[in-house]
Structure 1
Amino acid sequence: MSKLPNVTSSIFSVMSQLANQHHAINLSQGFPNFPVDEKLLQISERLLTTNIHQYTPMIGLPALLKKVAFLTEKNYQRKVDIQSEMLITSGATQGIYTTINALVKNGDEVIILDPSYDSYVPSVKVAGGLPVRVSLNEDYSPNFNKIAAAITSKTKLIIINNPHNPTGKIWNETDFTDFEALLDLHPKINLLSDEVYEYISFKHQHISVNNRPKLINRSIIVSSFGKSLHVTGWKVGYLIAPENLMKEIKKIHQFLVFSVNSIAQHAISEYLDIVNFENIAKMYAKKKELFQEQLKHSRFEILPSEGTYFQLVNYKNISTKNDVDFAKELIVKHGVAAIPISVFYKSPSNKCILRFCFAKTDTTLIESGKKLIQV
């Protein structure tokens, strides 16, 4: 009997495969198509010939843990205990899966805010938990009345994603103060904060749960070097959590992957000495502006993107087809692949919205713009 009977190929695989078949420009999956920083490649090439090819400690390479702790204190003014509050993971998704399976028991309820990243629900189900989907507001801000109404005596965990995939929405100070007031009423509920796009924000500064003293003692924070350093294929992320929660997470982690790729950890550790995360944010801001400029003369309505490397567009002035069918048509007839936003909801409705990834070369963005103007 299947634990995930309704899970088939993800929409990302479906759209990418269709894009390959029709030689379309792939703006669907969230990965960069431009080269990795030459300095990181040079570090990696040098390290390949050194003696770093065996297991690292289960919690992570000590040098990398120290760099992450320094980064966390520098950016969020939070001091983290390396031995008890931090864990290097094989990508953020593994960190999310491990956390959920460590903390969620059979029958526990987990609140997930829709539209939501597609790994949350399967992870909850495998753990024996019950996903409780709560829709965000029309502008993708959190609706705390709905969240409060969804909380029961069985609620174990709430998952938030900030900056938000797929919408690019960023929580503001009021969102957090309202959330903290709500959680004050429910001291036994833990928080899983997916912050993999923490270094990609534009007009408004990203507010991390690391910055929230009222939340840190009940929160697991997920970060991703793959997203922050545009090396998604390296699959290296990390978790920060209080000792009592991290102790349980490590129990699952050691039997799932034990330790993470040693070369990647060593290379990232050295690279953190020279990389400037502000420059990464500026680079993506320029790419967003370039892509939006390409779409200005199209019939697509450009929606706000406050963070991440995703851009939502509304196509209501072009077609009345549902977003899955329109996304397929866009590939077949116009040569550009996107992701329909309905797949991020439990109960899809035809909002006529697609998600494009602008983590691409300028040439790719310009070429895709030329095609989208013709739609």
Structure 2
Amino acid sequence: MSNVVKPADRYAGLDTRFWADIVHMAEVNKAINLGMGMPDFNAQPQSIMDAMCDVLVDGHYSLHQYTKSSGHPRLVKVLAKLYSHLLNNEVKDDNILITLGAYQAIHCALYGLINHGDEVIIIDPAYDAYATITRAAGGVPVHTALKRTDTYRNENNNDITGADALMPGMYERTVTIGSLGKAFNVTGWRCGWAITGHPGIRHALSLAHVVSVYCCPTPIQEAAARVFEIELDKLQLNHVDCMYWTQLCALMGKKRTLMYDMLTDMGLKPMMPEGSYYMVADCQALIDRLDLTAYYDKRGKTFEFVRWLSARGVQAVPLTVFYSTDNKQLGEGITNELGANKGFYLGR
């Protein structure tokens, strides 16, 4: 009898090691990690910390037990009000599913709607999980790539409002996914949501959710609901300048400008982000001047440059990982920097 245990066939050929490699590379080189989508300073609002403390210390016993599979009612209600405003549509409670982060919302959407052999169109550059989860669900990723100039714009124009759902007739044909981690800079809390105007789509996502995690942590959802209520009250009173996101944009805007200027002074060609803290930079001119022999990587010159950069104390991400094999040449020479959400750029 063999002692070898292999993953199920549906996971054959899937490679999920990239992000672990980036973390390991940064740790070995003691590099400042610009490769992870999270801040390295206290960017979360005090209100969400206070809300969590109140729930844990003074919360009703029910807040420490299971909640509804579709989502904690208080959080669902406030999200319905907020997204009714954002999507310019009536979002009802039963249009919302609370998930274990935005990642699980993507998982539920693909597992809930894809049958074996279904083709899924993915526009490169794309979050690498789209293709990975599609294959695991039995689907077939079909990649198409934007032109390089459009790529920069698309990569950085990343808002949380669900812009596609704002188009006429699209609310019932789309799934708008959001994340508490990115909304309030608490990525470790793992709370997200999926919103759709189509009851059949919502039901499909719910089935995938129930058979995976069933429900999400109640205390986190309760704390999230309380802080969303605070921000929604400010919006309804037209106190927009006092909202967390308004103040965060001002802070991140300064960091974005400083990062852009620094990369430009280095001779790189960064693209100014329009709605994300990711900054894409064309590093080809620098790569062409370097001897990267000692940093050989079979995945290409951009990976070699990332290794060279990490050895000098800065960890970036090669943009090629967000392209399919056939389109990787479009990402060569370009790196993804996350400097706008790192505290050290403005000094500590």
Using the size of structure 2 for normalisation, the TM-score is 0.84
1:107 counterpart (117, 139, 144): 117
Q: CA deviation at 1:4?
A: 2.6
Partner of 2:339: 358
Q: CA deviation at 1:209?
A: 2.3
Partner of 1:26: 33
Partner of 2:70: 59
Quick check: which one's helix share is greater? 2
Amino acid at match of 2:65: Q
SS, match of residue 299 in structure 1: coil
Contact 2:10 2:137 (C-alpha < 8 Å) held by counterparts: no
Contact 1:198 1:223 (C-alpha < 8 Å) held by counterparts: no
Whether 1:278 and 2:246 are equivalent positions in the alignment is: yes
1:342 counterpart (314, 320, 336): 320
Contact 1:110 1:130 (C-alpha < 8 Å) held by counterparts: yes
1:224 counterpart (153, 162, 179): 179
| CA deviation vs aligned residue, 1:315-347 (integer Å, no higher than 9, x gap) | 122113611110011001x21000000111112
CA distance, structure 2, for counterparts of residue 281 and residue 74 of structure 1: 20
Whether 1:319 and 2:287 are equivalent positions in the alignment is: yes
SS, match of residue 127 in structure 2: coil
Contact 1:89 1:239 (C-alpha < 8 Å) held by counterparts: yes
CA distance, structure 2, for counterparts of residue 213 and residue 281 of structure 1: 29
Contact 1:294 1:366 (C-alpha < 8 Å) held by counterparts: no
CA distance, structure 2, for counterparts of residue 253 and residue 9 of structure 1: 21
CA distance, structure 2, for counterparts of residue 309 and residue 10 of structure 1: 23
Contact 1:24 1:337 (C-alpha < 8 Å) held by counterparts: yes
CA distance, structure 2, for counterparts of residue 20 and residue 141 of structure 1: 30
Q: CA deviation at 1:45?
A: 0.9
Whether 1:75 and 2:101 are equivalent positions in the alignment is: no
Q: CA deviation at 1:231?
A: 0.8
Contact 2:10 2:138 (C-alpha < 8 Å) held by counterparts: no
Amino acid at match of 2:224: I
Contact 1:300 1:317 (C-alpha < 8 Å) held by counterparts: yes
CA distance, structure 1, for counterparts of residue 69 and residue 218 of structure 2: 11
Contact 1:113 1:133 (C-alpha < 8 Å) held by counterparts: yes
Amino acid at match of 2:69: M
The equivalences for 1:280-319 within 5 A come to 280-319=248-287
| CA deviation vs aligned residue, 1:259-301 (integer Å, no higher than 9, x gap) | 1111110011000122323333333222211211322321211
SS, match of residue 317 in structure 1: helix
The equivalences for 1:190-209 within 5 A come to 197-199=158-160, 208-209=163-164
Q: Percent of counterpart pairs with the same letter?
A: 26
Contact 1:33 1:359 (C-alpha < 8 Å) held by counterparts: no
Whether 1:267 and 2:235 are equivalent positions in the alignment is: no
CA distance, structure 2, for counterparts of residue 76 and residue 279 of structure 1: 22
Q: CA deviation at 1:207?
A: 6.5
1:329 counterpart (298, 308, 311): 308
Q: CA deviation at 1:141?
A: 5.3
CA distance, structure 2, for counterparts of residue 42 and residue 326 of structure 1: 43
With 37-46 and 86-95 compared, the bigger mean Cα shift is at: 37-46
CA distance, structure 1, for counterparts of residue 319 and residue 185 of structure 2: 23
Partner of 1:157: none
CA distance, structure 1, for counterparts of residue 165 and residue 249 of structure 2: 19
CA distance, structure 1, for counterparts of residue 250 and residue 309 of structure 2: 30
Contact 1:30 1:359 (C-alpha < 8 Å) held by counterparts: no
Contact 1:31 1:359 (C-alpha < 8 Å) held by counterparts: no
CA distance, structure 2, for counterparts of residue 283 and residue 67 of structure 1: 26
2:209 counterpart (253, 260, 263): 253
Amino acid at match of 2:23: S
CA distance, structure 1, for counterparts of residue 81 and residue 209 of structure 2: 23
Contact 1:12 1:339 (C-alpha < 8 Å) held by counterparts: no
With 42-51 and 279-288 compared, the bigger mean Cα shift is at: 279-288
SS, match of residue 113 in structure 1: strand
Partner of 1:91: 101
CA distance, structure 2, for counterparts of residue 294 and residue 266 of structure 1: 41
CA distance, structure 2, for counterparts of residue 216 and residue 224 of structure 1: 19
| CA deviation vs aligned residue, 1:96-124 (integer Å, no higher than 9, x gap) | 01111111001110000111101111211
Whether 1:7 and 2:14 are equivalent positions in the alignment is: yes
5+ long unaligned stretches in structure 1: 143-162, 171-196, 200-205, 368-375
Using the size of structure 1 for normalisation, the TM-score is 0.78
SS, match of residue 139 in structure 1: helix
In angstroms, what is the RMSD of aligned CA positions? 2.1
Contact 2:162 2:177 (C-alpha < 8 Å) held by counterparts: no
Q: CA deviation at 1:249?
A: 1.2
Q: 1:272 to 1:127 in 2, by over 3 A?
A: same
CA distance, structure 2, for counterparts of residue 252 and residue 65 of structure 1: 19
SS, match of residue 6 in structure 1: coil
